[in-house]
Chain A
Amino acid sequence: MSEASTTNLLEMQNITKRFPGVIALNNVSLKVKAGSVHALMGENGAGKSTLMKCLFGIYSMDEGKILFEGKEVAFTNSKQALENGVSMVHQELNQVRQQNVMDNIWLGRYPKKSIFIDEKKMYQDTVAIFKSLDINVDPRSKVSTLSVSEMQMVEIAKAVSYGSKIIVMDEPTSSLTENEVDHLFKIIRRLQSENVAIIYISHKMEEILKISDEVTIMRDGQYIATKSSNELTTDEIIKLMVGRDLSQRFPAKVNKPEDIILKVSDLTAETQPSFSNVNFELRKGEILGIAGLVGSKRTEVVEALFGIRALKSGTIELNGKVIKNHSPQQAIKNGFALVTEERRSTGIFPDLSVSFNSIISNMKQYKTKSGFLSNRKVADDTQWVIESMQVKTPSQKTLIGSLSGGNQQKVIIGRWLLTTPDILLLDEPTRGIDVGAKFEIYQLINQLAADGKGIIMISSEMPELLGVTDRILVMSNGRAAGIVETRETSQEEIMRLAALY
């Protein structure tokens, strides 16, 4: 028992994972002591989730090995890991919402009396676990009626019921209130006292420094450092997380911000937790970046501007006039366009042609007097998209799914430009696009701003925001943490703001 705090419960040694064209993990190591809280930190895309997926066998690693309790293990799925004492509380909770709490906890291993389920034992066992963890949830209530925090606690209880020795928590506090976070920490402390180790993935510096014993920092798929948390400060963590030069190249800026065209005041989403009290202005010809960590509700803000999400309060002023965007149709009419984050699921129609994908948002323009679509107008506009966006495609009839990600994205941006928007909302416009094509997209964004469009661009890539935008709105946990001038700011300042709330 006494050596528990010095021996490693889990050792991941020199893990390397390659995806076609990318090294997602490069020689990463992680050592977690029994009964400790080990924070795993890094920017979006640093490789934290990939590392965890290797642990649970969701990805197979190319090199390296994993030792658990001194023995080499290679789990092939999360069920196997679970049965061996390694469990994960997911960011998106994996529960059967239509069933009740105890059904969820004992799913797959219900206690039985002959062929019937022993509801009484199930109830008592659940109550016992809840009591030991100080969780106050009725085991008979339906999961769909619980709050996010309660669902999470149920998930933790489930992990405990499997006798887990190590529990991975992925952004556990991203949708919790302050009181709920305190309760979670109490539970973590209790688990710790029973010698359970926690791998705590989070972006929130203060929380990490408060709850964790050790911190491992990753950057760009590489292991950077493991330090005891009492040796660390917020600033040091940020430095270790960011520590990268702006080696990526960006096109020279050619746009000049002019008068204000969009003024957003006090924007608050109807369904909470989400964003609240967001204020900002956008100028004609300006590129406004939105920075923030996963879960900071950046996408939700843009979706609200585009009429996809309902607002509880707040006003949107376009050219000095208050407008209402209750639906995308209305937003489009008001001159907004949105290039969504998930290109594959909400952007392209993969099995249809470049032509169809170009003109789908602008159909009305192609109607002739007879009510049919004019082939000539359609072909002309498709050609315009291909030429002005420099889409590399064999023909207009080529299926868009067969083009590269960069070319697909150009078609989608072109699609929206056909609607002649004044305000272009871009959500992660370069995600999943190779470096060369990124440069072309940056050029395009630049040019559009120079042509007088107002552009709002969400990005998780800090260098991209610094290289392309004029100003950056930093979101933190649903609130606007600040707006900075791109020329005068640094990655460190943005990180600090992003972790503010």
Chain B
Amino acid sequence: MNTQASKKSNVSKWLVDNVIYVVLILLVVGIVIASPDFLSMTNLINILSQSSSRIIIALGVAGILITAGTDLSAGRMVGLAAVISASLLQATDYAYKMYPNLPDLPLFVPILVAMAATGLIATLNGIVVSKLHVPPFIATLGMMIGVYGLTSIYFDRPPYGAQPIGGLSEKFTNFAQRGIPVGSYEIPYLVIYAIITTVIIWVIWNKTQLGKNMYAIGGNPEAAKVSGVNVARNIIIIYMIAGLLYGFSGTLEAGRVGSATNNTGNMYELDAIAACVVGGVSLSGGIGTVPGVVTGVLIFQIINYGLAFLGVSPYIQYIVKGLIIVVAVAFDMRKHAKKK
């Protein structure tokens, strides 16, 4: 009787502790039951490919969340990077070039320029948060609005005004749209970029001093300080890394879509934050894992893709997504809740 009760509580404890994976499995099972065709290599590759740039953004946001910060400017930085990289990588023979006399640049130059721009802006976020002690929500809210202005000024100017920056050079679109052929399928480069980024971030979080400090700062800033951690510097670096990731993701986004506007990346930060919290990252800091974040992004992408695959109305998809965010976090809070 007793052992049975404890067994039961063990199972329910496991369910509560691993709720996101349970949700993920249930989702897939549900969709497959509704439409067995869902289980195909093509669908899998599509989902992974769509998730890739979002995973990169979410990993940047997650690091900031773990320091007990937040970043509302992520999406707008993605937009800035997309616009910058697209403007520098238009095909030489394209009629509406932003810089008509620009030679054919090697691919890495625009990527680095875009990443430098967002890296710089994010560093500024970090400085405002850690040195001026502006609450991260406010600091990055201001930055979100400001960056949109900056992107728009860069984007909307004579002679062509506010029209999408298109006509991207083939090497750029190939970089983001093609893949490595494996048998009759093609593994998109995007997925490979996301995997490489995920591995790098996992190493930083788990194997370096910066990573440990990040958890410590979010978990107990006072303890970190008295143990000699330079809290401000570590926070600034975490924001900067996030900025670099947004920049990279923004160039991929431009290449994937084949054009960019000042609205590229709009609201991506909210998707990223939602994916993080569903993936078990605590908004109060100190808690979060790389696999959790990746799973969080995948859950949203599977909902998007799977429900669309079933032909469910996009409006219902919004309701499902909203529910999942709240339910997942409610379970997560139960995990950490303590009775007084």
Binding site for B on A (CB under 8 A): 77-79, 82-83, 94-99, 103-104, 107-110, 112, 115-117, 119, 270-271, 308-310
Contacts and interface: CB of A to CB of B under 8 A. Distances in A.
A77 B216 CA distance: 19
24 contacts: A79-B226, A79-B228, A94-B220, A94-B222, A94-B226, A96-B215, A96-B219, A96-B220, A96-B223, A96-B224, A98-B215, A98-B218, A99-B212, A99-B215, A99-B286, A107-B213, A107-B227, A107-B228, A108-B224, A110-B212, A115-B208, A117-B208, A119-B207, A270-B339
Contacts of A271: 339-340
B286 A107 contact: no
Contacts of A308: 340
B287 interface: yes
Q: Which 3 A-B pairs have the closest CB atoms?
A: A108-B228, A108-B227, A96-B219
A370 B218 CA distance: 48
A309 B219 contact: no
B225 interface: yes
B271 to A, nearest CB: 25
Given A99-B216, A107-B227, A109-B228, A309 B287 contact: no
Contacts of B287: 98
B42 interface: no
Given A94-B220, A99-B215, A310-B339, A116 B207 contact: yes
B213 to A, nearest CB: 8
Given A99-B215, A108-B213, 10 more contacts: A78-B226, A79-B225, A83-B228, A96-B215, A97-B286, A104-B223, A108-B228, A109-B227, A112-B209, A271-B340
Contacts of B113: none
B38 to A, nearest CB: 37
B324 interface: no
A310 B338 CA distance: 12
A96 B286 contact: yes
A123 to B, nearest CB: 14
A140 B209 CA distance: 17
B229 interface: yes
Q: Is the interface of A mostly helix, strand, loop or mixed?
A: loop
A280 B32 CA distance: 64
A119 B207 CA distance: 8
B216 A96 contact: yes
Contact of A98 (B208, B222, B226, B286): B286
B332 to A, nearest CB: 13
Contacts of A309: 340
A256 B212 CA distance: 62
Contacts of B226: 77-79, 82, 94
Residue of A116, A119, A310 most packed against chain B (CB within 10 A): A116
A94 B219 CA distance: 11
Contacts of A94: 220, 222-223, 226
Contacts of A108: 213, 224, 227-229
Contacts of A104: 223
A266 B155 CA distance: 74
B89 to A, nearest CB: 33
Residue of B225, B227, B287, B339 most packed against chain A (CB within 10 A): B227
Given A96-B215, A98-B215, A309-B340, A107 B223 contact: yes
A192 B286 CA distance: 36
Interface of B: 203, 207-209, 212-213, 215-216, 218-220, 222-229, 286-287, 339-340
B43 to A, nearest CB: 37
Contacts of A96: 215-216, 219-220, 223-224, 286
A108 B224 CA distance: 7
Nearest to B282: A98
Nearest to B220: A96
A82 B219 CA distance: 21
Nearest to B217: A96
Nearest to A118: B207
A308 B287 CA distance: 28
Contacts of B203: 116
Given A79-B226, A79-B227, A103-B216, A117 B339 contact: no
B306 to A, nearest CB: 33
Given A79-B225, A79-B228, A96-B220, A116 B340 contact: no
Contact of A95 (B208, B220, B340): B220
Given A94-B220, A310-B339, A110 B209 contact: yes
B51 to A, nearest CB: 27
B336 to A, nearest CB: 9
Nearest to B285: A98
A108 B209 CA distance: 8
B170 to A, nearest CB: 38
A262 B227 CA distance: 49
Contacts of B213: 107-108
Given A82-B226, A108-B228, A117 B219 contact: no
Nearest to B338: A271
A78 B222 CA distance: 11
Nearest to B207: A116
A107 B229 contact: yes
A99 B219 contact: yes
Nearest to A308: B340
Contact of A310 (B208, B212, B340): B340
B270 to A, nearest CB: 25
A98 B218 CA distance: 9
B193 to A, nearest CB: 22
Contacts of B219: 96-99
A218 B67 CA distance: 42
Contacts of B209: 110, 112, 117
Contacts of B222: 94
A112 B210 CA distance: 12
Contacts of A82: 226, 228
A423 to B, nearest CB: 21
B208 A116 contact: yes
Contact of A107 (B207, B208, B224, B339): B224
A310 B229 CA distance: 38
A278 to B, nearest CB: 17
A308 B340 CA distance: 8
Contacts of A95: 220, 223
Residue of A107, A109, A309 most packed against chain B (CB within 10 A): A107
Contacts of B223: 94-96, 104, 107
A77 B220 CA distance: 17
Contacts of A112: 209
Contacts of A310: 339-340
A452 B339 CA distance: 35
Nearest to A83: B228
A149 B79 CA distance: 52
